[in-house]
Structure 1
Amino acid sequence: MTLKHISAISLFVEDLPASRAFYCAVFGVPVVYEDDNCAVVQFEHLLVNLLKVANAADIVAPGAVAPRDAGSRFQLSIWVADVDAVCAHLRQRGVAFHGPLDRPWGLRTINFVDPAGHSWEVGQQLNGTATAEPVS
């Protein structure tokens, strides 16, 4: 058995309509499933389940659901060919972000959060020094 492929990530959200609208507008991803408790959007080969925080305890048991104000505990990253173009895209959609910054590990990055406080990084490889291959 191999467990090397991540199929889906569930993000816990307080305001499902706002989160759904954010993901569709900012990332341009389609909603592939939704009901009263969740909206599932598709990023190429990865599903992101936007789940109302009130329903999260059932899927993380025996773990606990942290409140939004506990701070970021992970970050999702997307590699692109042109971070500055992404900055322009985000500005047009009213998204506040930090950066761009040229990082010592070879990426030019920006960071922003979704309406539920989940951290996103967008990175561009600089001078072939980053270990990950950028995707446009």
Structure 2
Amino acid sequence: MPAISLITLAVASVPRARAFYEALGMRTSPLGNESVAFLDAGGVVLSLYGREALAGDTGLTDARPGGITLALNVERAEQVGERLADAVAAGARTLKEPREMPWGGVTAYFVDPDGHPWEITWVAEFPLTEDGRIVLAMGDDEDGGGTTA
């Protein structure tokens, strides 16, 4: 089954970005160096790569962030504000304070020091595993159970 295994963010400073994500609780792999960092993001690897290096590797003329949001899901609604405070303390800028959504969840948004937009959200229908992965209920399971994202 296809799965997203690694997400790479173009960053201005790998050491600064690594410190930011470590402050949010992600653990850095020793496989990285000053030019690239690999962090355990709960079942997906978050890779931090210098903007110029990523532009050179991909052939893109500009490797700035855009067009996506990344998400941190939490177990309880009150954790949205707590995690937002953690992100701000680590150097993030708040885009939207925690608020109840029309669909029933609680969501807040911030940008990391390189401008990547992140959502912190609690959704009752998205239970989390012990290591923070979302459990998606799949209607076609024979036993009616869910699948872990």
1:74 to 68, 72, 77: 68
SS at match of 2:126: coil
SS at match of 1:34: coil
User: Percent identity among equivalent residues?
Assistant: 28
5+ residue gaps, structure 2? 133-149
The residue aligned with 2:18 is 20
Counterparts of 1:51 and 1:93 in 2: how far apart (Å)? Answer: 19
Give yes or no for the alignment of 1:30 onto 2:27: yes
Aligned-partner residue type, residue 133 of structure 1: F
How far has the Cα of 1:108 moved from its partner?
A: 0.9
The residue aligned with 1:107 is 105
* Alignment RMSD: 2.2
SS at match of 1:19: helix
CA contact (8 A) 2:70 2:118 kept: yes
Q: CA separation of 1:117/1:91 partners in 2, compared to 1, >3 Å: closer, same or farther?
A: closer
Q: How does 1:33-52 map to 2 (within 5 A)?
A: 33-52=31-50
How far has the Cα of 1:44 moved from its partner?
A: 1.9
The structure with higher relative contact order (CA 8 Å, sep 6+) is: 1
SS at match of 2:38: strand
5+ residue gaps, structure 1? none
* TM-score normalised by L of structure 2: 0.71
Q: CA separation of 1:83/1:134 partners in 2, compared to 1, >3 Å: closer, same or farther?
A: farther
Counterparts of 1:31 and 1:16 in 2: how far apart (Å)? Answer: 12
CA contact (8 A) 1:56 1:65 kept: no
The residue aligned with 2:143 is none
Counterparts of 1:44 and 1:87 in 2: how far apart (Å)? Answer: 18
Moved over 4 A (4+): none
How far has the Cα of 1:54 moved from its partner?
A: 1.2
Paired residues in the alignment total 124
